[in-house]
Amino acid sequence: MRMIEQQGALYGVVLAGGTGTRLWPLSRAGHPKFLHPLTGTDASLLQATVDRMDQLSSSDRVFVVTGVAHAAEVVRQLTEVPADNVLIEPSPRDSCAAIALAAAVIARREPEAIMGAFASDHLIADKAQFTRVIQQAMGGARQGLLMTLGITPTRPETGYGYLECGSVVGDGPVMAVQEFKEKPTYDVAESYVKSGNYLWNAGMFVWRVDVFLAELSRQQPQLAAGISRIAQAWDSPAREEVLGEVWPTLPRISVDYAVMEGAATVGRVGTIPGDFGWNDVGDFHTLGEVLVSDHAGNVVVGNEADGSKAGVLLRETENLVVVPTPGRLVAALGVRDLVIVDTPDAVLVCPRDRAQEVKSLVDALKDTDRLHYI
């Protein structure tokens, strides 16, 4: 990672949690989505998320928050991130606690630091535009706003939350966010898209750590007090003991509910519409839409577009999303619009337009007590 000027550089916080059951059988409890090379290159989603910040931050300013189950693999994948920047949650406490911990640890180093919080399992096609948007968001953050990145919606998606935009702040490009809207029905989503006044809530945030922690104290005093206790012990021998004692008492709540909704109500949230090819890699169909395909629309994940390096043999196939596994061959003949995912112990076949329902297979495996496949 390139070292950029220290003054004003971003602290990048990567949230490496969640399993991604709609990406089963690739994504497992033991090896979740963000650890997999679903990027069209050899890089995992996690690695790509860190690499993406190389014009904004420096390696020593990149933090990762992850759980005990995956911390070792996270450290192994992120060779340039200092070990002490990997913050390991003793148990899952949702995004507010994770983000607050990172903010508090960063604040000890630089009280008015600007941090960005990013999911570890999203794809972004246009890095240059992403960099520009984050720099604009950092401008809003310097003015004391909690910035959330909004994505200009391209369809009436019912799987995302929305941001209702207000007026432009100053000369722009920052816009005020009036209200956070939960996942809408299709009709409501359609009206949002038509109005032109709503953005998808992509769950990426940029703010000054002191501003965020103050808003946390105002809205979530218990959580803020707990994080404060942990932060005070962070650089002392008592870190593990205090973390182990306090962390389990923190409320499980998302940062949207805990802080952002209430902050928007009092006019403290801003956004930048971010048109940088954002994709949340929610399922294999979506993944296939953003990766490079061959002339017949087939996408082979984790390998060259023509599948030449991968263990695949495709003959008269169209619009497949194929995920091969090392040392095994996926052969397909005369099929189209299918997802075929191969792993060392399970293979999945389903139509691309039902890729979201893969989650139901995971439920069925639970119901039939085949937990080793989950």
Say how far residue 48 (Cα) sits from the centre of its chain. Answer: 11
Q: How many CB atoms lie within 10 A of CB 82?
A: 12
Q: How far is the CB of 287 from a second copy (least distance, A)?
A: 16
235: region left, alpha or beta (phi > 0 left; psi from -120 to 50 alpha): alpha
323 scored as a contact of a second copy (CB under 8 A): no
Torsion of CA 170, 114, 66, 14, to 10 degrees: 60
4: its two tokens: 């950029």
The three-state secondary structure class of 233 is: helix
Convert residues 2-41 into a mask of x (bound to a second copy by CB under 8 A) and - (unbound).
-----------------------x----------------
Q: Which of 3, 29, 68, 329 binds a second copy (CB under 8 A)?
A: 329
Q: Which residue has the tokens 């809530």?
A: 201
Find out whether 94 and 63 touch, Cβ atoms under 8 Å: no
319: region left, alpha or beta (phi > 0 left; psi from -120 to 50 alpha): left
Q: Which of 128, 170, 327, 371 binds a second copy (CB under 8 A)?
A: 327
Q: How far is the CB of 338 from a second copy (least distance, A)?
A: 7
Residue 48's DSSP bridge partners are: none
Q: Which of 154, 170, 171, 333 binds a second copy (CB under 8 A)?
A: 333
Q: Which of 167, 357, 369, 371 binds a second copy (CB under 8 A)?
A: 357
Q: How far is the CB of 347 from a second copy (least distance, A)?
A: 5
Residue (51 or 337) nearer to a second copy, CB: 337
Q: How far is the CB of 40 from a second copy (least distance, A)?
A: 22
DSSP category for residue 258: I
Q: Which of 183, 309, 328, 366 binds a second copy (CB under 8 A)?
A: 328
Say how far residue 231 (Cα) sits from the centre of its chain. Answer: 24
Residues within the interface to a second copy (CB under 8 A): 25, 313, 315, 327-335, 338, 340, 342, 345-351, 354, 357-358, 360-361, 364-365, 368, 370, 373
